[in-house]
Amino acid sequence: MTVTTVPATRTNWLRYAALAAKVLLFALLLSALIWPDLSGIKGKASTARLVVYPIGAMALPLWWWAYGRTRSKLHSTFPWPADLLMTLPWLIDLIGNRLNLFDTVDWWDDAMHFILWGFLTAGVLLAFAPRGLSRGLTAFVALGFGATAAVVWELGEYVAFVRNSPELQTAYTDTLGDLALGTMGALLAGLILYQLRRSPSTSNV
């Protein structure tokens, strides 16, 4: 199996971007602990987010430290592009909540379910899916991960805060829409990644 390599110059800026995203994410999480009323996540499963978001952002580095650096057949060095894509959803969600965009912009929540699930799925595929997958298999893997992650997220939201909030009245319709958008975002991410991997100009993706 071919090991993925990325040109040094691109690796550098991706590394800096991924690290900057993590620093900003943890700064926002820390500020939410210190000033919970200003965090934008108070009353929105803030405790669960403070636990889950760091785990989500650190999942790939922890896997690499424990397993990937010695046994990975896909990457010769740490996959910074995948790490950035797997960090951005947690960071963007926190920023959106801090700026109150989920409650003040009608289309923001729908856009985030579509876009952020695309980022997360693309990152997971880059990190763990072999380059040689066909378009059909890439789509199935993207759908499998994206749909499963979307269901887990919606279940978590329901248990953590929706069942005891005014949102319960509209939760069914909202959940169906979120699941559909997240799944479509994941599928689109898989198809885009497949095309990028086939393109000579992005052969190292």
Query: What's the Cα-to-Cα distance from 42 to each of 101, 129, 177, 181, rounded to whole Å?
Result: 14, 37, 24, 25
Q: Residue 3 falls within a domain, yes or no?
A: no
Residue appearing with tokens 């909540």: 97
Contact 51, 59 (CB under 8 A): no
Q: Residue 48 falls within a domain, yes or no?
A: yes
Q: What is the DSSP string of 110-149?
A: HHHHHHHHHHHHHHHHHHHS-TT--HHHHHHHHHHHHHHH
- pLDDT value of position 1: 46
Tokens for 148, please give them.
Answer: 């499963």
The residue range of the domain holding 157 is: 8-202
CB burial of 48-82 (b: ≥16 within 10 Å; e: otherwise) equals: ebbeebeebbbbbbeebeeebeeebebbeebbbbb
- pLDDT value of position 5: 53
Q: Length of the chain in residues, anyone?
A: 205
Q: Residue 120 falls within a domain, yes or no?
A: yes
Q: Residue 76 falls within a domain, yes or no?
A: yes
Per-residue pLDDT of the chain (205 residues; tens, 9 = 90+): 445 555 667 778 999 999 999 999 999 999 999 998 888 888 777 888 999 999 999 999 999 999 888 878 788 889 999 999 999 999 999 999 999 999 899 999 999 999 999 999 999 999 999 988 999 999 999 999 999 999 999 888 877 766 666 666 667 778 888 999 999 999 999 999 999 988 766 556 6
Q: Residue 128 falls within a domain, yes or no?
A: yes
Q: Residue 39 falls within a domain, yes or no?
A: yes
Query: What's the Cα-to-Cα distance from 25 to each of 70, 74, 156, 193, rounded to whole Å?
Result: 28, 27, 20, 25
- pLDDT value of position 16: 96
Dist. CA 39–CA 98, nearest whole Å:
5
Q: Residue 1 falls within a domain, yes or no?
A: no
The number of folded domains in the chain is: 1
Dist. CA 146–CA 150, nearest whole Å:
6
Q: Residue 2 falls within a domain, yes or no?
A: no
